[in-house]
Amino acid sequence: MRDYLGVYDRPILGTIVKPKMGLTPSQYAEVCYEFWVGGGDFVKNDEPQANQDFSRYETMVHKVLKAMEKAEKEIGQKKVHSFNVSSADFETM
pLDDT band at 51 (very low <50, low <70, confident <90, very high): low
Mean pLDDT rounded to a whole number for the chain = 88
pLDDT at 20 over 90: no
Q: What percent of the chain has pLDDT over 90?
A: 62
pLDDT of residue 91: 76
| 3 contacts: CB under 8 Å, gap ≥ 6 | none
Is residue 18 a contact partner of residue 33, using CB atoms and an 8 Å limit?
Answer: no
pLDDT band at 67 (very low <50, low <70, confident <90, very high): very high
